Structure formats: C-alpha cells, structure tokens
Structure 1
Amino acid sequence: MNLNVMNKKIIFSAVMLSLSTSMSAQVFSNFKYQGKDKIYDENPLKEDEMYSPILQGFYPDPSITKKGNDYYLVNSSFSVFPGVPIFHSKDLVNWKQLGHVLDRPSQLKVGTAGFSEGIYAPAIRYNPYNDTFYMITTQIASGIGNMLVKTKDPRQSWSEVQKLNFDGIDPSLFFDDDGKAYVVHNDAPPVGTEQYSGHRVIKIWEFDLEKDQVIPNTDKIIVNGGVDLSQKPIWIEAPHLYKKDGKYFLMCAEGGTGDWHSEVIFMSDSPKGPFVPASNNPILTQRYFPKHRDNKVDWAGHADLVEGPDNHHYGVFLGVRPNSKWRVNTGRETYLLPVDWSGDFPVFENGLLPLKAKIKMPKGVKNQTGQNGFLPNGNFSFNDKLNNEKLDFRWVAMRGPKEEFVSVTKNGVKINAFQTNVKDKAPISALFVRQQHVSFEAEVRLDFKPKSEKELSGITCYQSENFNYVFGIVQKNKENFLVLERTEKGQSKLLATEKIKLTQPIFLQVKADGDDYQFGYSLDGKDFRNVGNIVSGDILSTDVAGGFSGTLIGLYSTVGNDVKL
C-alpha cells in the first residue's frame, strides 16, 4: 500500500475513534407502531374481501409485472436509501417485500438531493424472450437521468446502472411478441411548439436489447398533449404500452398528480401509432366528486395493468387518503382495482365512482395479510425490538446507506450520529419508517445521555429537509431537556421545552389523530406526558410542503444540533 494512503487511513481512523469516544451512546429499542384509522374499524373484511390501498403510506407510482405465477411490484422512492422497494406476490393480495432494486451507492447517487428528487416513476418489466427483468426509471439530481438496471432473479441483486440516451421522464419498456423492444416516455414538445404550461408529449424509441440502449434516430411522438390537444390537457406522463388481441394499447396518466389526476387509454395497430384515444376517457379518476366527502380517496392515476391469477385483469395505481382537514400526510399510496377488458378498451371497475376501502379478491385466494410473513394492511401494528442483525426492509435511510451509521446490538440499534441534521440536503443519521395511517401511535425506547450541546437524539416526523418536526433530548448548561421544534419552509421554531433527569432510558411517543399531532415521553413506557400540546400536521402534508413524498417517522441522532434553547 502507498505510504501516504496508509497514513491518511491511520489519521482518519484516529479521528473517527476520537469522535466515537467523545460522543454519547444512543440506543433505540422496542419500537411500536399502531394504526388507528376509523375506516378500517368501520369496514371489517368479509371472507372474499381485501383492503385497498394494498401498500399504505408513501408507496407512490406503482408498476407491476409477472413471470408465470409470480408478480413483482415497485414504487418511486425519491431520495430514500436504498431505493425502489420491490414486492412479490402469487395472488395480488398477499405481498412480501424482497428488498430494494437500488441497494448500492454505485446505483443510487442522491447524496445531495432534496427528498423529492432522486428516483421517479420506476417501471418493472419481464422479457420472456431473454428471461430477464428490467427496471427503468429517471434518477433526478444526479446527472444520470433516464437509466435501467436488470436481473435474472428479482430476489437477487440487480446490475449496475445503464444510462440511457434520451431526455424526459417516466420511461417504460415494452417487449413485443416478435422479440422487438421499445421505450415509451414523457418529454417536452419540440422546441417552439409548446402551446401552454403543462403541455407534454409521449415518445417511443426502438430499443437494442444487446446494447441496452435506444436506437438513435428512431424516436417518434405518438401522443401530443393528451387525449384532446384542443382542451389543453396537462402532464400526459407515466406511459405504459401493452398488446392484446393483436392491438397495441398505450395507457398514460393525465392531469398532473393532484386532484385532476386521471388515467387515459389509446389504441393502435402498431406500437408506433397512430394511437386513437378511447371515447370514454378517462378510465380512472376521482376528480368529479365533491371535495368534502366521507372517507375520501383522491388523486387516482399513474396506473399499470397486469393479468391476474383468475385470468382477469387488474390495475395498480396511486391514490391519497386526506385527513379531516384535507391534508395528505401519508403521501401517495398503492391501490388495486379489477379491470374490465371485455370491450375494446380496458376500464377500471368502479374507477369512476368514489373509491371504497374494500374490494373483492381474485377468486380462490385466501387473505393472509399480516400472517406467515406477508405485509399487513388495515389497522395493523408493527413492533420491532430492533435487535435483529438484519433490520426489517421497512427501515430506510435518507440519501445514503443506513449501514454507515447503524450498529445493531443485543440491546437495540445504536446510531452513530453524523454532524448533519434533518435540515441538510445530505445523508443524515436517522432510521425511518413510513407513516401508514391517517391516525396512529408510535413509540420507541431511547437510552441516551448527551455529553455536549451539539448532541441530539430523539424522533422526527419528516416530510422533507424543509418541513419537519424534531422531538428529542438535548443538553444546556449541563442540564438535560426535551425539545420540540417545528421547521416550515426551512425556518425553525422552538415550540416547547421540558427539563428532565436522565437516570434511566426514556420512552418517546408521537401520535396523530388526523391533522392533530402530539409528542410525549414516559419513564415507564406506560404513562406518557405530553410536551407542546397539540400541534398541526399541516407541514407534514404534500399539499403544504410540496414535493411527492409522504411523512416518515425517524429515529434520529445528530452531533450537529442547532436547536436553540
């Protein structure tokens, strides 16, 4: 080894050892999460029913594919690390998480990205002609842009990134039955032809399976603007191409991922068009119903189709469940509906009516959610002692690998704090799970005694680096305090402080009833004392904070504390 390199490594190790011995130990254990949504209590399942959303909380932009009897589903992850969660099912009802598609820093370069940058709209496809799975997506804020990775087995690791030579977003692959491959994606209209804000086009390229690259000069615009350009439709995007009975079908989202969101469909005799829109578009939307309706589901769109185990088609799509003040704190979730394709065009069954909490399961399927290792839904609980060597896949980090700051011990998870804090566009030492219910309770046991005023450990409710709550333990003049801080538009305000004596581990809690959030602590894990009264969850809502994410609940430590007492 080069002597200079060796000396640098020795110096680096010494610095890290010095930091580690000067910092307090902080160990999180006994995490408990309980969903408390009234809609599930009021709508118990019958034997042939299931809940939709099938993935609650921040699991947006679903895409699905199948090989034989196996179904695989992926979601957008933005700057969460690892990226692109991937799920497996045999029946579309019972799902297990396999892990993440992008699980290495070489694949996911989001270290300085905002939360709603990073990975947009992944599309997963299986090509039977070379027995290969592909995941194609857009990686924002990294200089990568459109990209793909592939694998023979989604249970194993995926390839390194192949950068693709075209602009735009939301790419999706299509493998025709003659062995040819194509890419469709959203793009800007040709320079000088944009007619209004939100005017976009859908392009198609031929794709070279040997080079894993689009074929130069094969691009063609197949949809301009949307279903009817004269009506100035906005944000035609998230295209997927299918083939059925010799016809080609192009399905896209239209209207933007908000309350005008919808799904539309086109048909052609060729993958390159011309494509004719269905006369009954949209085939899925919630935009026509009163805003103030009970058990509202909204923003439905960004869909993908698959043939189910009962030879019936189904569609996955995103939707949101606003709380009583119409806030969207759980983010965009993954829904499922059966699809009627008995006519020329597919139509989501009851997709043009107000969506309900329950749907009929595919025939012959037994609902095992929450059992036998399958992910739960409804009003489930998630309890984790945090002492398993391999953490549950639901625990994620922000902008970098959790392995860089997490050590699992027999007593729980030790977080080796970074100098960055939740307001930074950088990797932060926080271990996150998604808020998956409008109303919930979450608590964790924390063993921590700060040694300096730069240390903070506790919990955070995190919508982004600019919108979050922090509830944690700090030191001031050799005394310990619990602090509650609210950050809105990057500006922080201290809401409450309480002096405490740390003679033993402490239990921290956050709970929400719709828009009303409360933070509290307990010394025995039973009786919790509120700090800061009731605070608004408004800053944890997408419609206030902007972006495309949902709220994350974090176990958080930093040696870059900037809370001012």
Structure 2
Amino acid sequence: MKKQLTIILAVLMTVFSLTGAYSQKKPNNVPVFSKAVYEGNDEVYENNPLAEDEFYNPILQGCYPDPAIARKGDDYYLVVSSFAMFPGVPIFHSNDLVNWTQIGHVLDRTSQLDVHDTGISAGVYAPDIRYNPNNDTFYMITTAFAGSLGNFVVKTKDPMKGWSEPYKLNFQGIDPAIFFDEDGKAYVVHNDAPAQGEELYNGHRVIKIWEYDLERDQVIAGTDKVIVNGGVNLAKKPIWIEAPHIYKKNNKYYLMCAEGGTGGWHSEVIFVSDDPKGPYRPAPNNPILSQRHLSQNRQNKVDWAGHADLTLGPDGKYYGVFLGIRPNDKNRVNTGRETFILPVDWSGEFPVFENGLVPMEPKLKMPEGVENKTGQDGYFPNGNFTFVEDFTSEKLDYRWIGLRGPREAFIAKTKGGLQIKPFDSNIKEVKPTSTLFHRQQHKNFSFTTTLEYQPQSEKDLAGLTCVQSEAFNYVFGITKVGKKNILLLERTEAEGRGRNREVKSEILASTEIDLKNPVSLRVSAKGDDFEFSYSTNGTDFQNLGGMVSGDILSTNVAGGFTGNLIGLYATKANDALPVLE
C-alpha cells in the first residue's frame, strides 16, 4: 500500500509540474510590454513658470470633457465624460480644487455600462454628480448612447467605495442633471427636442424639468415641463441649449446651461427664477463665459469654452469648472476637450466667470492657504511632466483605459511586464479591442514602449496605435509576412459621410525587423507633425515613414468628441499588409 501511494504521489507531482510549466509558457504571438513612458513638453509651460501661489489651467489635460463637480464638507468630487472608453466616467477627488487624485471610475463594471458595439464618440455623455445632504447620498446621472440604457442614475454613500447598479430613467433627451432642494424635494433637468412639429430650426432644443421620486429613483410621470425654449433669445435662433444645472442662492433658483454647441460658438448662460420649475428669465449680461468673440491669432489660445458647473471653494469663493480646447499650430484639436477652472464672481445677482470673456491665461492664483502638489504624492500631474510605467505595481494606474470593454479582459501581469492577449478584432472595428490606452495630454509629446513579440502569421500584429476613432487612426506595429518579421506604419481615414463614407487604409512605410531582442517603439509629435520611430537596441531610434500629419487625430478632421488616444495594441485580426519587393 505504501509503495502504491508513493507511485501515485510521484505521478501527481509530475502532472502538477507539467501543468505549472504549461500555464507559465507564453504563446509566441502574445506581446509583453515591459515599459511605457509618456513625456509632455509644451512651450506654454516653459514660458510661464509657476510662482509659489499659482497653478496651471487646465487642471485635467487631455480628453477629460464635460466636467461636473460636487462638494460634501471639505471633499470635492469631479466627473467627466468617457464615451466608449472603459471603465466609464473617471472620478477625481480634491480638498482644495487645485490638487486632484483620480480615485477610480464611477462605471467600472459591465453590469453598469455596455459599450461593446459602440462608436468611440458614443457611449457615456455629460455626467452630473451631486450630493444630497437630506439622505447623505451621492448621485451620478448621465446618458448612455449604448446598451439600450439611455438616461440613468447611480448612487453611493461614499464615492471612494464604488457605486450602485444603474436605475434607468423614463425620459428621452440628453445631459440630465439632478437638483436637491432644501425642503427635501428633488428635480431632474435635461436637454430635449421641442415637441413634435414645433422645431423652428436646426439645433433648436429645449430644457425640461421633472420632479424626482427619491424612494423609487425615478422621475414622476406627468411632472415634466419646458423651462427654456431655444435659449436666451429664441428670436436669434440659439442652438444646442444643453448641460443644465440648477443652483439655489438667496432663495432664488439659478439655471445655468451651455449654449451654442460644443465648438467655436460654445458659451455658458444663466437664468433665474423664484421657483425651481420656473418661469426662468435670462441674465441681461449673457453669456457669462465664452471665448468665441476673441481674435483667432491670440497667444496660448483656449477656445470652445462652456459646459460648466459651479461650486463653493474652500476660501468661500465660487469657482466654475468647464471644458475648453487648446488647438495646435494648425488649429487642430488633438488633445480633445479638457477640464478648466476659473474663479466666479457672484457678488451681484448673477454669477460671472472671472476673465471668462477675455483671452484665458495658462495659470491662476491658488485659493488662499493652498499648496500646489500636482504631480506629487499621487496627485494628478499638471503642466509638463513625464509618466513612467513599468507595469510592476499591484494596481494598474487609472490613466490606462480600454475601449468598449474591461482592461482585465486582455491584460495579465507577468515577470517580464504586461501581457496583452490579442483579440479577434482590430482597431478599425466597432468591437472591444485588446488595446491599453493613454490620452495625449500635450501638443508636443513622446510616447515610448518596449515589447517582446514573435508574430506567427500575417493575422498577428502588436505595437502602438494612435486613435481618434475607428475610422481615423495610425497603426505602428509588428507583423509577419511570409517568413519575415515586418514593422509597418498604416494610416486609416474615412472619406465622405453617412452611407457614402468609405474608410481607406494605406501602408505608409514598412521594414524588416530583428526580433531577437526587445523592440522599442515611439510616437512623438510637435504640434501637427507626428513621427514614428523604432529601436532594436533601446538607444538608437530610426524613423519609419518620415513626418506624417496629425490631422486625422484631430476632431477637426475626424469629428466626434474624444482626443487622440495612444494605445499598446495587439490583434489576431490584422489586415495591414505591406507589399514586399
């Protein structure tokens, strides 16, 4: 019996040993990224060094648009749009409005957010966050153009500890916001289309209000009412009144909205009423924030300012967060819509953004008593900075995001770095992709990564990608053609619109590459001029494809609402194939 047990034990040990060895063996066509370095170097920061009592504006650089902010005591929470990125709705925390820490994402589970078949600029739009002191609960309300969810709300007692499953709301329209009155009542306001047959012109919208049932987390049927028709002055045919927020001050109700569309005519306007359900009258000095009337040749241009939210700062003064863009030398928007902040003067009847109607400056005075710690001790970086990722920490930085699905579906931590399991989809498809993204946050930047990879066929590809959308992107990756390992640069762009739109891809350059050692890939930009280069020794970089335009990585050319996303990319559905001589 003892001899039999010994034999059985030996067999089991052999099986376990073989199983362990197999589980640790990496498939050859699965890349491992050992390092990634993002470095930003914009002249505006070089030319405008900070004094001790100053900080840089925007506070969130890169694609962090449509900000909303809530306060509870000394804690501020800020959320922004995420579209088809996953997880959804980044959330930041601060105690002083200067130093921000990303504490996660509001929608971090597939049960909360389904964007798997969604264009990159659809998904989650314009979140609003509010704290209700009547029940000590935070609410985040938003619109999802995906997964048949529409308008919905999630809630939590503590934003540090995650959020509930969604409560679907029974109304159409977009940009919902929630307001809690001192008497315990709650209301939802949102953008909507005019009643059928009452649309007067293209871009004509209305703002509606509903009473909200806090017990059922649902708007109350039949309580809806139009409180703004068209905008400040309907006779002037204002477009896209949206992003409403209600505030209460001195027993008056203030309705603040964006007007003019999220582009060159963007602005922020304000109305007042004695009742939350109106009637509302516009301020005589509207707009209270806009950059639309200024010279297009101004230095350090900030444009498209609007989509704002207000909060009372730690110094007892009001502040407003809002989106804006900083175009590059060709007036193109590659960094997307960013989150800015300005002090707000509310000493009169209506609030006004201080210096919000003149050319905005790149830096601001800090609230009294605040120390600038951006980029230190876990606080979000600001200005020119370098972000180094070696993929050794237990928790992946929140700046790394997926597209249409969780990061965890395709990443795995190994001794050599981060393994990205390739999906049977590529970056041009409206499907989840095995790509780990970092936002472009500067006009002048470089992004370098090092990987080990052995493609097995022409369907395998891994490397870098720069993505404005599924129809506008660059792929800089390694594949196999015949028996040769090939590094290629592909440009994809769409021509035409709607049903007539045709997406075309072109291989700009390719070269045979030695994969015996890890390969470093780099994308760098100076304004609109992009370069892709590589190194097989980690030191000497060679350009591939010459200088290329960042035009397709801008919203001006590609449309949509995102900024350029730089991705660590792998696919088993590669269709980028160079013709070898």
TM over 0.5: yes
Q: What residue identity is the alignment partner of 1:32? A: V
TM alignment of 1:550-561, pairs within 5 A? 550-561=563-574
Distance in 1 separating the partners of 2:373 and 2:138: 27
**Deviation at residue 21 of structure 1 after TM alignment:** 7.1
Residue by residue over 1:342-401, the C-alpha shift from the partner in whole angstroms, topping out at 9 and shown as x without a partner, is 000000000000111001111110000011111110001100101223100000000001
TM alignment of 1:39-118, pairs within 5 A? 39-118=44-123
**Deviation at residue 292 of structure 1 after TM alignment:** 2.4
| Aligned match of 2:35 | 30
TM alignment of 1:119-134, pairs within 5 A? 119-134=124-139
- Residue of structure 2 aligned with 1:526, choices 515, 529, 539: 539
| Aligned match of 2:11 | none
| Aligned match of 1:349 | 354
Post-superposition, which runs of at least 4 consecutive aligned residues in structure 1 deviate over 4 A?
A: 20-23
Distance in 2 separating the partners of 1:259 and 1:400: 32
CA contact (8 A) 1:387 1:411 kept: no
**Deviation at residue 102 of structure 1 after TM alignment:** 0.2
- Residue of structure 2 aligned with 1:414, choices 406, 415, 419: 419
| Aligned match of 1:152 | 157
Distance in 2 separating the partners of 1:526 and 1:460: 21
Q: What residue identity is the alignment partner of 1:538? A: D
| Aligned match of 1:339 | 344
| Aligned match of 1:13 | none
CA contact (8 A) 1:252 1:265 kept: yes
- Residue of structure 2 aligned with 1:309, choices 310, 314, 323: 314
Q: Is residue 508 of structure 1 aligned with residue 537 of structure 2?
A: no
Residue by residue over 1:209-244, the C-alpha shift from the partner in whole angstroms, topping out at 9 and shown as x without a partner, is 000000000000000000000000000000000000
TM-score normalised by structure 2 residue count: 0.93
Residue by residue over 1:538-558, the C-alpha shift from the partner in whole angstroms, topping out at 9 and shown as x without a partner, is 000011100101110000000
Q: What residue identity is the alignment partner of 2:293? A: Y
**Deviation at residue 295 of structure 1 after TM alignment:** 1.1
**Deviation at residue 526 of structure 1 after TM alignment:** 2.1
TM alignment of 1:264-343, pairs within 5 A? 264-343=269-348
Q: What residue identity is the alignment partner of 1:549? A: T
| Aligned match of 1:383 | 388
| Aligned match of 1:12 | none
- Residue of structure 2 aligned with 1:256, choices 251, 255, 261: 261
Distance in 2 separating the partners of 1:23 and 1:222: 61
| Aligned match of 2:465 | 460
| Aligned match of 1:170 | 175
CA contact (8 A) 2:28 2:453 kept: no
CA contact (8 A) 1:474 1:481 kept: yes
CA contact (8 A) 1:443 1:507 kept: yes
Distance in 2 separating the partners of 1:281 and 1:410: 58
Q: What residue identity is the alignment partner of 1:420? A: S
Q: Give 5+ residue unaligned stretches, structure 1.
A: 1-16
| Aligned match of 1:3 | none
| Aligned match of 2:453 | 448
Distance in 2 separating the partners of 1:130 and 1:83: 25
**Deviation at residue 22 of structure 1 after TM alignment:** 5.9
**Deviation at residue 525 of structure 1 after TM alignment:** 2.1
Distance in 2 separating the partners of 1:454 and 1:270: 62
Q: What residue identity is the alignment partner of 1:521? A: Y
Q: What residue identity is the alignment partner of 2:91? A: I
Q: Give 5+ residue unaligned stretches, structure 2.
A: 1-21, 495-502
| Aligned match of 1:543 | 556
What secondary structure sits across from 1:233 in the alignment?
A: coil
CA contact (8 A) 2:458 2:481 kept: yes
Q: Is residue 562 of structure 1 aligned with residue 580 of structure 2?
A: no
CA contact (8 A) 1:388 1:408 kept: no
What secondary structure sits across from 1:155 in the alignment?
A: helix
CA contact (8 A) 2:458 2:577 kept: no
Distance in 2 separating the partners of 1:264 and 1:95: 27
Distance in 2 separating the partners of 1:110 and 1:99: 18
Distance in 1 separating the partners of 2:528 and 2:135: 50
**Deviation at residue 523 of structure 1 after TM alignment:** 1.9
Distance in 2 separating the partners of 1:455 and 1:416: 11
Distance in 1 separating the partners of 2:34 and 2:359: 41
CA contact (8 A) 1:257 1:301 kept: yes
What secondary structure sits across from 2:44 in the alignment?
A: helix
CA contact (8 A) 2:28 2:454 kept: no
Q: What residue identity is the alignment partner of 1:527? A: D
CA contact (8 A) 2:514 2:536 kept: no
| Aligned match of 2:500 | none
Q: Is residue 358 of structure 1 aligned with residue 363 of structure 2?
A: yes
- Residue of structure 2 aligned with 1:197, choices 202, 206, 222: 202
| Aligned match of 1:179 | 184
Name the % identity.
64
**Deviation at residue 524 of structure 1 after TM alignment:** 2.5
| Aligned match of 2:504 | 491
- Residue of structure 1 aligned with 2:376, choices 368, 371, 374: 371
Q: What residue identity is the alignment partner of 2:339? A: T
**Deviation at residue 23 of structure 1 after TM alignment:** 4.9
- Cα RMSD of the aligned pairs, angstroms, is 1.2
Distance in 2 separating the partners of 1:395 and 1:21: 23
What secondary structure sits across from 2:161 in the alignment?
A: coil
Q: Which protein is bigger by CA-based radius of gyration? A: 2
Distance in 1 separating the partners of 2:195 and 2:214: 27
Residue by residue over 1:25-61, the C-alpha shift from the partner in whole angstroms, topping out at 9 and shown as x without a partner, is 3101221111011000000001111101000000000
